[in-house]
Structure formats: C-alpha cells, structure tokens
Amino acid sequence: MNKKLMSVTIATFLFLAVIITTVKIGYAVTWSTDIRLTTDPSIDWDPAITQTSDGRIWVAWASDRTGKDDIFYKIWSDSSWSDDIQLTYDTHLDRFPSILQTRDGKIWIVWSSDRTGNIDLFYTTSSDNGESWSGDTQLTTDLSRDDYPSIIQSSDGKIWVFWTSGRLPTPLPPDYEPQYADIYYKVSSDSGQTWSEDTHLVTDYKNNYRDDLYPSCMQAMNGSIWMVWAKEAKDIYYKIYNGTAWSWEVQLTFDSNENTHPFIMQTANERIWVFWDSFINQHDGNVYYKIFYGSWSSDIQLTSALEDDQWPSAMQAEDLTIWVAWTSPRYPSPSPWDIFYRTGMELHDVAVRGVTPYTSHSTFAYRGEVVYVEVEVENQGEGRETFEVKCHVNSILVGSRMVTLDSGKSFVLVFEWNTSGVKPDIYVPSAVAVAVLGEVDIADNSLGGSSFEVRIKGDICGWYDGVLRPIPDKCVNIDDVGMVVGHFWTWSPTWHPVWGPACDLTEDGWVDLRDVNEVVDHYGET
C-alpha cells in the first residue's frame, strides 16, 4: 500500500473507529477522547510530536525510567504504536526534546543536557528514518543555562533553533538585572555544518522583569516566522519575523491564571493555533488553545481531567487530523506521569448553493447558442479551502474550475456551454463541489438546477395524438415549412395568437421571408 495512503487510512481509522466516544466541540473542531500513550512506572513528560514524510507519527519525550532523565520516542505505523525507544544514553540529564524532519528527509531531535557541567543544547540526526542516529552534537557552549529548545526549518532551507538562556546579553545594558532569562536563537544554512552566532531575541528588558521561557516557533504559509513563549508561568506572548525584522512582543493571554508551556502551529487552512497549559493557583491544570484567523479566538479549553495536564505539543497530519500530546498524572502510583494524546478534526465543509441556467429564451435555447450556467458555491467550514467545482448538463461535463474561499464566503462561477451539435432535448444542469480532505457532510456538495430545452431553429411544430400542435418535434420538415408559409405576412398583434409567435423565428413581430429562410436553412435537421 502507498505509505501516504496508509497514513491517511490509519489516522482516519483511529479518529473514526477508536476514539469517538466523547465529543467536544470547540471552534468547530470535533475532538476525540484522551488516549494514554506511555505506561511505564516512571515520569514521562514534555512530549514533542510530528509526522514524517513516510506518514509515520513520532512522539519524543523525557523519561526518568533509567534513573535519570533520558530522551525516548515511539512511532505510530501500520495501525499501532512501536515500543518505547531510548534515544540518549549519557549518564547526565537529557530532557525537553524538540523534533523535526527537514526537507532532505533527515530527522532532527534537539534537547537540553547537563553533561558538560552546565545545561547546553545538543542534537542528533537520522538519515534513515530512525534506523540509526548520528552522535550527539553540542549546539550551545555558553556557561549559563540553555534550555527548552524549539527547532524548525524555514522555506529557504535554513534550520532555526530557539531556546531560553540565563546568560548576560551582549552588550550588557547598564541597568540589566542578570537573574532574568531571555530567548535566544541561532540559524544554520547548511544543514547543521555551521551555525550563526547566538542571537538575543527578547531584548525589551525594561518591560520584562520576568523570565522568558519555553519558546515554540513555526513558519507560517506567508513566510513569516512566529515565536511564542511564556513570561514565567503567567502569560503567553508572541513575536513575528517578517524576513527583515522582528515585531514587538504581543501579549496573548490576559486572565489571572498561570499560563505557560505554549506550542504554536499552523493548519492547512492557514489558521494559526497556540496551545498552552493553564493553572489556577498551581493546581487544576488543563490544556487550552486559541486560533488566529484574522483575529484571535477566545481561549478554548481542550482537556478537563481532575489531574494536571501540561506541556502540550501539536501537529496536523496529512489527513488533516490535528494531534495534541501532553503530560498528565492521570493514573496513581507507580505510574505518576504519562504521555497522553487526542486527535481532532476541524469542520471542513464546502457546498453548492445554487445552479441557474441562462438561455436565450426563458425556457429554451436554439442549438448553436451558448447557455450560461451560474454556480454559487460556499465555504461553510472553518478556515480557507481550495476545492474543485464541476458543472454538468445531463451527463455532459461543461467545465471544471478551482476556487479558493475563506470561511463563510461564497462565490458565483459562470460556466459556458456551447450547444452546437447537441441533440435537441430537455437538459438539466448540475454542479458538484468536490469534497475536501476531512469533509464529512457531503450531502450539500451537489445540486441540480431547473431544466431547459435545446431546440433546432425552424422546428416549430409536430403531430401529437393526430393533431398538429405548436410543439417542436426535434426535426425540421415540411410541416414546419407549411406552417410558416401558411402564416406568411401576418404580424403582431393581429396575427394568430399561438401560431403567429411560433412562426416568427426572427422575433421581429412579422412572419416574412426571413422566417421562411430560417426554416429552409435548417430543413432536414434532427
């Protein structure tokens, strides 16, 4: 089976068949129940989650099961999770992992370690999907504490690592208070062969007399780089890099709770999500999130267990399901802390709202004329969608267009159908909005419009139940010629009220030689 198709099938099965026991609705997202990922009788905490290009889901975390903190990971593949796999074996503390797959296929895991006598950042890479790993490479060397790394690759191929450091900034501001930690970052343009100098990012120390901790970063689809962090355990802030300069910091949370451990990501419909944990007086912690799509949503509660849920990490899989992992002491000793996760699906819903044909006459068009079909489509889901719209007349495909719509927006597409050479008949237009990935409600994706007739010009009448009636019979013959000749040189309003308008093929108010010519020109057509 194709590996990408396999991942979609697996994740969809997990979402639909395993976990829809309890459903929470938050900002048009349907969430699963909470699933326990680790069961070792130890402390498993601070997960990092991603999906690699082969469709597998990776979760890395820190665990003290070896007697001190080490990095472990496990992989979702072929409808099941692997065993817990140990990554680091140093005798010192290794914790706070961040995971990334770069576009060359290499998997990176970066973490903090005290193996040098102080806390520095280290990383390891795998070029064969985890079959083997490089040696541990030291990334930072400052004598201060470098902690809580976050790694991304930008669209230009550069690898960025952000972290918290308690070092003194250079140059040192005259009134700087050195006990406070700030955010730093460094960049590699050659896949880690060389790195830039450490760059001090949060420099607004005069308004920042609290530690800046737990950075999380991502690059948005418009190319900007977003970095969120916590000021101690109080509030979440973010900054944006536009390719030239960083914005001033923006406060994201405003309640009286202790908000910390943020994580940022963007979904395929261009909405930006920030997850974090929130505590009341250091107790009753739960995971929250909010979404940016032109403006920020309100704070939305994700978890509601009685135990403390914290350290969230999130990503969107190829099948558009959103995966969120976190740490929680849900089960009593000897399993005090475990990794949990849940998946969610945003509301993806496109619809056809109207199909309207426009013909040269109210209910018919003459063969050879163009019939216009207006198709109104709407994005009834959350966030931007790009989808295909197909228009048919009976079984004939008139055209296909791609359309991109923001949430709640509609648009009218106009399709042109040239009727040259088609059979005279009754036709019904219809349209379908091809279902987008993750869409469940497809009942309104297709719609038919009112019928119309395609006639041959000159086809005036036919025999029905032994009576010649002014109803076209799909052929132009002697009856049509005779009817026009029989009403030659009559005019509106004195002509026959039924046959007069039927014989006036040029629609100029007279039955004259031009009308006769129209019948003769199409004589014998069927």
DSSP codes joined into one string, 329-345: --S-TT--BEEEEEEEE
CB count in 10 Å sphere of residue 466? 5
Residue 304 lies in a domain: yes
CA distance 55 to 309: 27
**Predicted local confidence at residue 14, as pLDDT:** 37
Express each pLDDT in 326-362 by its tens digit.
999 988 766 689 999 999 998 999 999 999 999 999 8
Residue 371 lies in a domain: yes
Residue 327 lies in a domain: yes
Domain membership of residue 443 as a residue range:
350-455
Q: Which two tokens stand for residue 153?
A: 């690759």
**Predicted local confidence at residue 172, as pLDDT:** 65
**Predicted local confidence at residue 157, as pLDDT:** 97
Is the model's pLDDT at 276 over the cut of 90? yes
* Closest to 98 in 3D by CA, of 260, 251, 325: 325
Whether residues 331 and 480 share a domain: the answer is no
Residue type, 49: I
**Predicted local confidence at residue 19, as pLDDT:** 30
Give the residue from 280, 313, 346 where a domain finishes: 346
Whether residues 495 and 365 share a domain: the answer is no
Lowest mean pLDDT among 281-290, 302-311, 399-408: 281-290
CA distance 212 to 227: 12
- Give the residue with greater pLDDT, 18 vs 199: 199
CB count in 10 Å sphere of residue 204? 11
When divided into structural domains, the chain yields a total of: 3
**Predicted local confidence at residue 382, as pLDDT:** 83
Whether residues 249 and 394 share a domain: the answer is no
**Predicted local confidence at residue 25, as pLDDT:** 34
Express as a percent the part of the chain with pLDDT over 90. 80
CATH classification of the domain holding 513: 1.10.1330
CATH classification of the domain holding 10: 2.120.10.10
The CA-to-CA distance between both ends of the chain, in Å, stands at 52
**Predicted local confidence at residue 336, as pLDDT:** 83
Q: How is the beta sheet containing 350-358 ordered, strand by strand?
A: 350-358, 370-379, 410-418
**Mean pLDDT across the stretch 293-303?**
93
**Measured CA distances, 4 to 9, 45, 55, 138, 318 (Å):** 9, 29, 5, 34, 8
Residue 526 lies in a domain: no
Whether residues 451 and 473 share a domain: the answer is no
Whether residues 85 and 214 share a domain: the answer is yes
**Predicted local confidence at residue 225, as pLDDT:** 98
Whether residues 53 and 178 share a domain: the answer is yes
Phi, psi of 429 (to 5 degrees): -80, 150
Give the burial string for 359-386 (b: 16+ CB within 10 Å, else e): beeeebbbbebebebbbbbbbbbbbbbe
pLDDT band for 284, please (50, 70, 90 cuts): confident
**Predicted local confidence at residue 177, as pLDDT:** 60
Express each pLDDT in 184-225 by its tens digit.
999 999 999 999 999 999 765 555 557 899 999 999 999 999
Whether residues 336 and 355 share a domain: the answer is no
Is the model's pLDDT at 477 over the cut of 70? yes
Express each pLDDT in 492-510 by its tens digit.
999 999 999 999 999 999 9
Lowest mean pLDDT among 56-70, 164-178, 478-492: 164-178
pTM over 0.75: yes
CB count in 10 Å sphere of residue 227? 26
Give the residue from 415, 437, 455 where a domain finishes: 455
Q: Which two tokens stand for residue 437?
A: 């990935």
Residue 466 lies in a domain: yes
Q: Which residue has 């349209």 as its token pair? A: 431
Give the residue from 294, 328, 346 where a domain finishes: 346
Residue 132 lies in a domain: yes
Pairing of the two strands 425-427 and 199-200: unpaired
Whether residues 391 and 469 share a domain: the answer is no
Whether residues 53 and 87 share a domain: the answer is yes
Whether residues 161 and 122 share a domain: the answer is yes
* Angle, vertex CA 238, rays to CA 253 and CA 140, nearest 5: 125
Q: Which two tokens stand for residue 180?
A: 């406070």
**Predicted local confidence at residue 166, as pLDDT:** 86
CA distance 328 to 339: 7
Residue 390 lies in a domain: yes
**Predicted local confidence at residue 28, as pLDDT:** 65
**Mean pLDDT across the stretch 176-188?**
82
The alpha carbon of 15 is separated from its chain's Cα centroid by a whole number of angstroms, namely 17
Residue type, 307: E
3-state secondary structure of 142: coil
Residue 328 lies in a domain: yes
Whether residues 169 and 105 share a domain: the answer is yes
- DSSP H helical segments within 292-429, as ranges? none
> Please, which residues have CB within 8 angstroms of residue 484's CB and are 6 or more apart in sequence?
460, 503, 505, 511, 515, 516, 519
Whether residue 500 contacts residue 490, with contact meaning beta carbons closer than 8 Å, is answered with: yes
pLDDT band for 281, please (50, 70, 90 cuts): low
Residue type, 379: N
pLDDT band for 34, please (50, 70, 90 cuts): very high
Whether residues 306 and 166 share a domain: the answer is yes
